[in-house]
Amino acid sequence: MSFLKPAEQSPDAERMFDADTRAMGYLPNYTRVFAHSPAAYAAWQQLGGAVRAGMELRRYELVTLAAARALRSSYCGLAHGKVLRDRFFDAATVAAIASDHGSAGLSAQEVAVVEFAGKVAADATSVTEADVAGLRGHGLDDTEIFQVILAAAARCFFSTVLSAAGAEPDPQYAESLDAELRQALSFGG
């Protein structure tokens, strides 16, 4: 499940386990990892909720998948690719987005957002004023651009924690995603 030994049981960890099991229908491996610091998990949930509330779900999921790809996070790629498949696209389109978003039938604005989010996640210091101007040219205002930055940067935190802890993607993804899509969303980490 991860490189870490199970966290010691605590009332806070038990509440996390119960809440995530109710929400997901099973206990995700990431919850087991964050049981080592329930306060950090609660802070992550609050941050994640604030970031998601600031943008449309489709954009949030595209940004998150782009960041997961840049970070080589299979766990986050599978999780957010599944949301894209369940809510917005068919499996073949999600696989195309994961491998070559420029030819996946996304709008020009979405392609620009995905490219920008990937750049933020891969090397935020490489983002330039021209990159931001490019998003403005695709119709995003500065608040929307900042929301993309927030979503990509937040994914950096979560994906990095899971990867460093060795958290394996939940086996439920093998049951809910076909093999071709699982392969496309498995970025190596």
Domain spans of the chain, in order of start = 11-51, 56-185
pLDDT band at residue 189 under the 50/70/90 scheme: low
- At 90 the pLDDT is 97
Residue 133: exposure state from Cβ atoms within 10 A (0-12, 13-18, ≥19): exposed
The token pair that represents 129 in the structure block: 């004023």
**Domain 56-185 of CATH type 3.40.800.20:** no
User: Over the stretch 83-129, which tens digit does the pLDDT of each residue have?
Assistant: 999 999 999 999 999 999 999 999 999 999 999 999 999 999 999 99
Cβ–Cβ under 8 Å, residues 32 and 7: yes
Note every long-range contact of 104-113, with CB atoms under 8 Å and residues 24 or more positions apart, other chains counting. 106/62, 108/138, 109/138, 109/139, 109/140, 110/59, 110/62, 112/138, 113/59, 113/62, 113/63, 113/66, 113/138, 113/140, 113/148
Q: How far apart are CA 49 and CA 74, in angstroms?
A: 22
Helix (H) or strand (E) holding 123: helix 108-123
pTM (two decimals):
0.95
DSSP 35: T
User: Each residue of 81-96: pLDDT tens digit?
Assistant: 999 999 999 999 999 9
Q: How many CB atoms lie under 10 A from the CB of residue 46? A: 10
